[in-house]
Amino acid sequence: MKLLSSQNYLPVFILSLLLLWGCKQPETIVIEDEPTVSAPSDTTEEYPTGDDDSDFRQLVIGEYQSITSFDPLLADNGATMRALQLIYEGLVRLDADGKTIPAVAKGWEVNNDSLTYTFTLKQNIYYHDSDVFNTGTGRRLTARDVKFVFERMAKLGNPPTAAKLFWDIKGFEPFYQEQHKVYELEKRTLSEVSGIQTPNDSTVVFELHEQDPQFLKKLATPYAVIYPREAVASTSNSFAPVGTGPFTLSSQTADSAYIFAKSQKYHAATTIRLNRVDILTSSSKSKLMRQIGSGDIQLLPELGPNMIQNVATDEGMLKTGFNDRYTLTKRDNFNEIVIRSNPSAGITNEDANRISHLAYSNTSSYFEQLPGSIITVDSTANQQQSGTTLTKERLYAAFSEDPFARTYLANLAETLGRQNVELNMTKLRIPTKNIDLWVTQHTPLIHDNKDGLNNDYPELFHFRVHPTALQRNEIAGLNFNQYGWWLDLRGVFLPTLDKIN
């Protein structure tokens, strides 16, 4: 056999390096994994008493919206999405700059055409201890959990919001359509989403049928957090809040008080400096303002219109009495709220144009007391006036949970009342043939309107709201990125409650 000498190897080696250098390599993001460990005990922090109080750190958050569910697929407002991020993590998450960073995945690789994403999972990710597991001890998260979560998004009985985010995954749309339109199980032919593969317990591969520049960021939304199959009851609609995040749901009082305890099972538990997080929800904005004034609440992640009027000047600065103890933070991105007409309800084009004109011509009465830097009206929308009177004497609007939309509709009702037209808000949340006006809301990264539903309902008026937070100055390490639904309490620190006044 003829062997090559070291002198003969050198040119071959150099040539090989040049060939590799000239080829475009796939993007690879890898974060060093923590050592693999056996399942730790999820012993949450005991609430100290007596002398231990000096080391106990508790953050109390106030929300004017209800936490509607701990099932991520049912999240329908900012308060719910922020609470989910305490319990769960996804493959990736967003940092304070809005950049995508690893969460339960230690890294990922994107192929040259940006159509294949391969994620490698960390080996030390364990679910919180829960009765949903046979032994009561949380098991290790695997790639099969990821596939289960994404295929559950497409199942019949779940809202379409999460599914529409991932429409570009190969096989996702056919699987969704069959689940929703073929009701007899024996007639269904698709058993899985073909574009999600799990070659082993630590690898998840997503194949897209077309490029999605926002794919990684969509994976960082609360709709894509990972939970175990055991959390979903097979015989009922119940859902157990079991995740891998920094906190566990310790207790819940009615629908207004939630206590989250630090989980010692969290893979980065040393970064969590809070022992406990409380979330208090109340529809009474004045009550929340009193509580933050007394120090009983230290953070309001999102302010409603009345709360903004209480604390902010027309220029968007804190008023006297607030500026020495609080910080006001406005997000860069905005939520877009659109008032639409429903042609099926019998609104003519002339009536729609007249309502639109009235809406735009009377915006000052609603927006004059709110800072222009926080709320803006779309000045490019059609404001064409058609006729002088409406042919319909009574209008009905679908219910909206958004306080800005509700307040605006109340203002519009007063305006229409001066035209002898009655506007009533119903309890229905969908545009039936008896609903004349419908409110839609676009939240960055969340609502893509893939089905084009909004195109069937002409726009009458729309405005933009920048989510704005109010926090006590004693809180250290709290950051906000551009997304109003984002909340990260890793590294947050504050004095003990008795030192906040």
Amino acid code (one letter) for 263: S
Residue 411 makes CB contacts below 8 A (sequence gap 6+) with: 362, 365, 366
The second-level CATH assignment, the architecture, of 247-330+468-482+489-499 is: 3-Layer(aba) Sandwich (3.40)
Distance between CA atoms of residues 289 and 470, nearest Å = 10
CATH 3.40.190.10 residue ranges for the chain = 247-330+468-482+489-499
pLDDT by 10s per residue, the chain, length 501: 434 444 454 454 444 544 444 444 555 555 544 444 445 555 544 433 333 456 789 999 999 999 999 999 999 999 999 999 999 999 999 999 999 999 999 999 999 999 999 999 999 999 999 999 999 999 999 999 999 999 999 999 899 999 999 999 999 999 999 999 999 999 999 999 999 999 999 999 999 999 999 999 999 999 999 999 999 976 556 899 999 999 999 998 877 899 999 999 999 999 999 999 999 999 888 899 888 888 899 999 999 998 998 899 888 899 998 889 999 999 989 999 999 999 999 888 888 888 888 888 777 666 777 887 898 887 555 555 555 678 888 999 999 988 899 988 988 898 899 889 999 999 998 889 999 998 988 888 886 444 455 678 888 888 999 999 999 999 999 999 999 999 999 999 988 766 665
| CATH 3.90.76.10 placement within the chain | 68-231
Cα 430 to Cα 453: distance, rounded to the nearest angstrom: 12
Query: For residues 483 and 307, is the Cβ–Cβ distance under 8 A?
Result: no
Does the pTM exceed 0.85? Answer: yes
Which CATH class name applies to 68-231? alpha beta
Nearest to 138, CA basis, from 251, 243, 275: 243
Tokens of 495: 């004095």
Tokens of 130: 């829960």
CATH number for the 335-465 domain, one of 3.30.210.10, 3.40.630.40, 3.10.105.10, 3.40.50.12140?
3.10.105.10
- In which residue ranges of the chain is CATH 3.10.105.10 found? 335-465
- Distances, alpha carbon 19 to alpha carbons 5, 15, 23, 112, in Å: 22, 6, 7, 17
Distance CA 474, CA 496 (A): 10
> DSSP letters of 103-136?
SSEEEEEE-TTS-EEEEEE-S--BPPP-TTSTTS
3-state helix, strand, coil in the chain (%, to 5): 30, 20, 50
